[in-house]
Structure formats: structure tokens, C-alpha cells
Structure 1
């Protein structure tokens, strides 16, 4: 998803626990995002294989801290009551139930999200981060989505953008530190070959800032993960504001990539526990239900595994 640099830029778990352990994301000081009141974990929900794989330190703590660049709808966002919701939130709750611990989302700027693991502030990343070969030098990924990026324009497509090369010479906004910016710059020569200037890429701190730039006319388009574009086109504002450019040659979006949960490479046991938890959530049908809830069923992974980025789906 986040084809972030996040390159991602679109951008949990654990042993048999007592009934008093909570699943979900609780609000607290120090960066935890506010979430709905978590529900007690039932021992019946715990998956034995996932729980057995989890390192003892996380079982003892009863929590895994999840670095997440919030908001990034529909993966991480707030509802009308300012409670955290979204696909990653729901998936974190479901995986936490399998592992018997709390997965607590911590607000973290995307450009500092990997360092937050390296410093010990957070344990894993769940923030629409794309699984790339470059990132695999530092992280292992448990991949849970597969999607490309799309071009989001104002309703009615006033600048008649039909393909990515129609962005040549135009102001285009992307979220800072994302792969999308690099991808757009990779078209520089093709733009020159067609007699146009390169894409003028503006990198803004948040995806909400990017969408505001398009709405205000400061940018002709937003280049963003297809899942995010789909959600924005359906839900932004009180009425329809955006359209997605449909390129027949790229029906799944441009440059499809895997999106994964990032874990430091040295934390091999934690990676295996999270993979087991995802497998358990897929096996009981919860994974499909969560993706359908956010209209993201087109982006399911066909098989699970570590570090699928760079391989064919």
C-alpha cells in the first residue's frame, strides 16, 4: 500500500493469557492513539500455534506497541467520536485475540517509523508500509495486502488525466517520504520524450494535506495507494469530491506491491508469531470480513508469507 520510502508511498501477539488481558488499542499518554474500549480476550479466541510462537517478553508485557502514521484512511483513521478505526485497527484487534495480547497503535510520523523500532520505542510497524527489497535490508514483512497506486483527481477530471504520462508538466502531490514520489520521478525521461516537462512533485507531510492540495487546485492530482484512493473517492467530504483515473492498461493500479507488517530482522521469533496470527485470522474468515468492511477485497493476498515484495503475486 503506501508506496512510501515507506521506499513504503500506499504507508501484533502471544501466549496463552488470562481473561483479564485486553485486545485492541487503548488511549494513553505517550503517543497511543485513542481507541474504543477494548474487549476482554477469551481464551477460546487464542490460537495455540500463534501463542506458542510469541517470545516470552511480549507475553509478559501483554502488549505489542505498533508504530502507525495516523491518519491514513482507510487503514488508520478516526470515527465521528474521534475513536481510532480502520483496517489496520480491526486487523490488529483480530490478531491480538489470536495471540492473547493487546496491540496498541502508537502515532508515529512515517519518516521516523523505522527508527522508532530501532530505538525500542515501538515493536512492529502496521501503517500501510510497502514491502520493498530495500526495506527488507532492515525489516521482515508479514504481507497482508497487494495493491498498486492510483491517480486521484477532482470529480469530473477537469484536466482530462487518463494515464500517468498525462501528469507530465503538472503539479502532483504525494505524501512525504513515499515511494510514489520516486516512481513519478522515474517518468522524467518519458515525459521529455513526449516533449513535456517532468512531473512537478510536491511532497506533503500527511495524506490529508495531499488531498487538500488537490481540492484547492494547488495540485492536479494525488498519486496514492489504490486502496486509499478508492476510499477517498467514495467518502471524502459531504458529497463526491474525487474521481479515480481508470487506466485500462493498469486495472489494479500502477506498480502493484505488497503491504506488510514490518518487524526488525533480528526479531525472527516475533515475525513468525505475527505470521501465525495472520494465518489464523485468515483461516477463520475474519480477514475477508475486515477487507470487505472497507471495500478492499480486491487487494487480498493470495498466500501469506514473509518478504513477498519483489515476487510475483
Structure 2
């Protein structure tokens, strides 16, 4: 996903009282609790063209089931009352309103999130998923963000990490099934030429697990979407646990990519309906408001599109 420079959030989130609290809340959350605060669409917000393009099965059901790896702040997370919040959640509610249905986020582990679509358990994915050519072999993306990756280190940067090549030969943690591991392995030759050897990558189930590993000294850094890195640096432990490495040569983060809503290739009508709904959300200013709420304005797409990451 994405790069970012966050200012302090104006709302109280679980992450702002530390990773341990986030883990505690997420551990007791159920699929039912992730749905409890999700809104029914407002008929006044419906976009006629988008709603007309939506396949009948979703209109009849009144719901689109969204697979989401919760928590993944600031994309999807729980507040202090265990209600869902986050950028993906807010955008999903806005899209649902345009389509005249409820977009219901349901917890799904990231490493099984595409199979959850293939099995029919879910209809779409909204989970900060990067649009890559490899993933496009299986699913299509309705893209809504564009940004890079950042390096998250303990506060004070004790290992003096300044660029991605400073991670060569070091223990580095990433979330399992994300594209960060693949990108970092792309530096193996440069690391070997520098005499330090390739990075020693640990792939952990949740981003909160990755951050915990860094705090515990089991990894020198977490390489993650820039929005996530910036949010963690500013909120975890009231901003005392982490900092983001600022590389002057890569001010927007490393390897900027698109992030999108994942839809099975056979569901082209659903993709087109979501694209029309996203166009409408952009046009009426809701998209800009949601980006600003989470200090993600720098990661806006110039225009919505399908499979822009090719």
C-alpha cells in the first residue's frame, strides 16, 4: 500500500494506547462484532448509475460481504468501544450508500483472503491490498490509493537505519502474504555485493505481530505500507514506540503501488458498479474528506480505475 506523513489523529483509537491493547481487543473480536456498527445505506445518497449497474443478487440481498484483515490500522481497526473504524471502513460505507446496499466488513486472515472470495464466503476484498500483476492473474482491482512502503524502526532508531540497504544482513519483519517480502528479496543481489548478505526476513501473521517483534528486539525494522507505518509511529504508545525512517531519495516511500478493492475476474459487473460508485464518491467530495480524516491526502488517486497496477 502506501506512504505517509501523519499528524496526530483527532479520535481515540485502540492503537493510540499501544499494540498490546490492540491485540487484546482484536483477539476477542468476532465476525459478529465486526459488523455491529456498519450502516444501512441512505437512500438520499444513492447514485442511480452505480446502483443500476450493480448485479441483482447484491440488490436483492442488500449486502456486499467484504473480506478484511482486521485490525490493520489505519485501514481497518476497532475503536475503544470495539466498533469498526478506519479508512477502508469509511470508504466502504460511502460506496455502499452510492450502491444502495450495505458493505459489511468481515474479519478474514490476509493469507487466506483471496481464497475467501474463490470459495464464495466473501464478495470483495477491502484490506489495504496492493494491486500487483501477480494478483491480477486471479482478481481484478478497483483502485483507490497510490503510495509506497516505509521502514518502521524503534523510537530513537537504535540501529541507525537510514535507507533500505541498511537492512542488508539484518533481521527484518513483515506481514505474511504481503508484497513487502517479495520487494525486499529483490535487494538480495545488492546486499550480497555490499558484503552484508541478504536480509533475514520473518513473515508473521498480523501487522500487530510484526510491530511487537520490532519492539521486542527480534527484528530491527518493520517494512510496511507507509500509511500504516506513519500511523503506528504517531499513535502506538502515544507516539513513543516507533519512528519512520525518512529517506530523502524516496520521500513518498519505496516502490509506490496502487491499492484497490479486490473482485473475482468473473464478477466484472460488480467491478464496474464499484468503479461507478467510487467515481461518485470522488466527485461529491466524500473521498477527499475520508482521506483528510486519516491524514492520507497524499495517497489519493488522480482518478479511479481498474487494474492500474499493471
Q: What SS does structure 1 have at the residue aligned with 2:130?
A: coil
C-alpha contact (below 8 Å) 1:154/1:243 kept by paired residues: yes
Larger helix proportion, structure 1 or 2? 2
Distance 1:219 1:230, change over 3 A: same
Number of residues of Structure 1 aligned to a counterpart in Structure 2: 285
What is the rounded CA distance, in whole Å, between the counterparts of 1:33 and 1:125 in structure 2?
A: 18
What is the rounded CA distance, in whole Å, between the counterparts of 1:39 and 1:252 in structure 2?
A: 34
Q: Which runs of 5+ in 1 are unaligned?
A: 4-28
1:160-208, CA deviations, whole angstroms, 9 ceiling, x for partnerless residues?
1000000011100000111111111111110111111210000111000
The answer to whether residue 74 in structure 2 is matched with residue 66 in structure 1 is no
- Following superposition, the deviation at residue 295 of structure 1 comes to 0.8
- Following superposition, the deviation at residue 30 of structure 1 comes to 7.8
1:234-253, CA deviations, whole angstroms, 9 ceiling, x for partnerless residues?
11123421111111111110
What is the rounded CA distance, in whole Å, between the counterparts of 2:87 and 2:70 in structure 1?
A: 12
C-alpha contact (below 8 Å) 1:33/1:105 kept by paired residues: no
- What corresponds to 1:47 in structure 2? 47
What is the rounded CA distance, in whole Å, between the counterparts of 2:108 and 2:143 in structure 1?
A: 20
C-alpha contact (below 8 Å) 2:2/2:253 kept by paired residues: no
What is the rounded CA distance, in whole Å, between the counterparts of 2:69 and 2:38 in structure 1?
A: 21
- What corresponds to 2:254 in structure 1? 254
What is the rounded CA distance, in whole Å, between the counterparts of 2:204 and 2:116 in structure 1?
A: 21
1:108-143, CA deviations, whole angstroms, 9 ceiling, x for partnerless residues?
111111111111110000001100111111111000
What is the rounded CA distance, in whole Å, between the counterparts of 1:187 and 1:181 in structure 2?
A: 10
What is the rounded CA distance, in whole Å, between the counterparts of 2:303 and 2:203 in structure 1?
A: 33
Distance 1:2 1:227, change over 3 A: closer
What is the rounded CA distance, in whole Å, between the counterparts of 1:38 and 1:209 in structure 2?
A: 27
TM-score (norm 1): 0.88
Distance 1:144 1:32, change over 3 A: farther
What is the rounded CA distance, in whole Å, between the counterparts of 2:141 and 2:44 in structure 1?
A: 28
- What corresponds to 2:266 in structure 1? 266
Q: What SS does structure 2 have at the residue aligned with 1:217?
A: coil
C-alpha contact (below 8 Å) 1:2/1:129 kept by paired residues: no
- What corresponds to 1:195 in structure 2? 195
Indicate the RMSD between aligned Cα atoms, in angstroms.
1.6
User: Relative contact order (C-alpha < 8 Å, sep 6+): which is higher?
Assistant: 2
